[in-house]
Amino acid sequence: MISDLHSNLEALTSVLDRARGLGWDRALVLGDLVGYGADPDAVVEIARGLPGLLAVRGNHDRIASGEGPSSDLSPAALRAAVWTRRRLSAPNREFLAGLPSGPLEFCPGGVLAHGSPGDEDQYLLDEEEGERAFEAHGFRIGFFGHTHLPGRFVRRGGSVALLDIAGDGASFGLDESDRHLVNPGSVGQPRDGDPRASFAIFDDDERRVTVHRVPYDTATARRKILEAGLPSALGDRLLHGI
């Protein structure tokens, strides 16, 4: 499971290098392949070739491919989206434009979304928002992105708990008697204070998720952003994971 790649080729390459030894056979992509970073075309090209690919779009994918309004982006993000649109090849732009908005079923009772399963642009940041997401759709397991923060919501009985996921190798089971919403964190622009790229492996036989953190060449990713003439803050934040 990878989310919020944000045109960061160095991060994606490091994630895939780590993932090769982990025995996965399907790639689940939770949106925002592009935006912010300096390598949109290369990142989309790699993603398109991932085995068993199943993907939903993110808000940056929608806007950079010309499929939606841009009013919800910050000035820096909008500038990057316009820059990205000009640098995507026609096939890769069409690929992004054709991605479904989600929720997208990947197994019985399991869905992929970018934001909330009920609203692709909604940030799920607290337990009240998690509760609304559970109420909006009847999934048992949902994987989502958008916040760039690894974490999970668990609905047990009538209550919802938000649990942090920290560090490399954090692993947890998904109890069949509960409902779950899991965010694997961001590959290309982590925001939890840890600059390492974040991704997860979901073992669908064991119903277990393991989140991995991978160091990558943040200095090169930052330098390429600056050389592209994109806002310096988009590169600077990579060094600190904010």
What burial class does residue 128 get, using C-beta atoms within 10 Å of its C-beta: 0-12 exposed, 13-18 middle, 19+ buried? exposed
72 has pLDDT over 80: no
pLDDT tens per residue, range 143-175: 999 999 999 999 998 899 999 999 999 999 999
Structural tokens at position 81: 């989206």
For the residues 57-80, what does the mean pLDDT come to?
87
Quick one: tokens of 102?
């989600």
- pLDDT score at 216: 98
Residue 54: CB atoms within 10 Å = 16
Write out the chain in H/E/C secondary structure: CECCCCCCHHHHHHHHHHHHHHCCCCCEECCCCCCCCCCHHHHHHHHHCCCCCEECCCHHHHHHCCCCCCCCCCHHHHHHHHHHHHHCCHHHHHHHHCCCCCCEEEECCEEECCCECCECCCCCCCHHHHHHHHHHCCCCEEECCCCCCCEEEEEECCEEEEEECCCCCEEEECCCCCEEEEECCCCCCCCCCCCCEEEEEEECCCCEEEEEEECCCHHHHHHHHHHCCCCHHHHHHHHCCC
Q: In this predicted model, what pLDDT tens digit does every residue of 85-136 receive, in sequence order?
A: 999 999 999 999 999 999 999 999 999 999 999 899 999 999 999 999 999 8
On whether the 9-239 domain is CATH 1.10.3470.10, my answer is no
Backbone angles phi, psi at 109, to 5 degrees: 80, 0
- Does pLDDT of 69 surpass 80? no
Q: Locate tokens 């990558």: which residue?
A: 216
What pLDDT score does 204 carry?
94
User: What contacts 122, CB < 8 A, 6 or more positions away?
Assistant: 115, 116, 129, 133, 146
How far is it, in rounded angstroms, from Cα 46 to Cα 114? 19
Split at pLDDT 50, 70, 90, the class of 73 is confident
Domain parsing of the chain, residue ranges: 9-239
pTM: predicted TM-score of the whole model, two decimal places:
0.96
Residue-wise pLDDT for 169-219, tens only, equals 999 999 999 999 999 999 999 999 999 999 999 999 999 999 999 999 999
What b/e string do you get for 151-164 counting C-beta neighbours within 10 Å, with b at 16 or more? bbbbbeeeebebee
pLDDT exceeds cutoff 90 at 40: yes
Residue 86, phi then psi, degrees to nearest 5: -75, -20
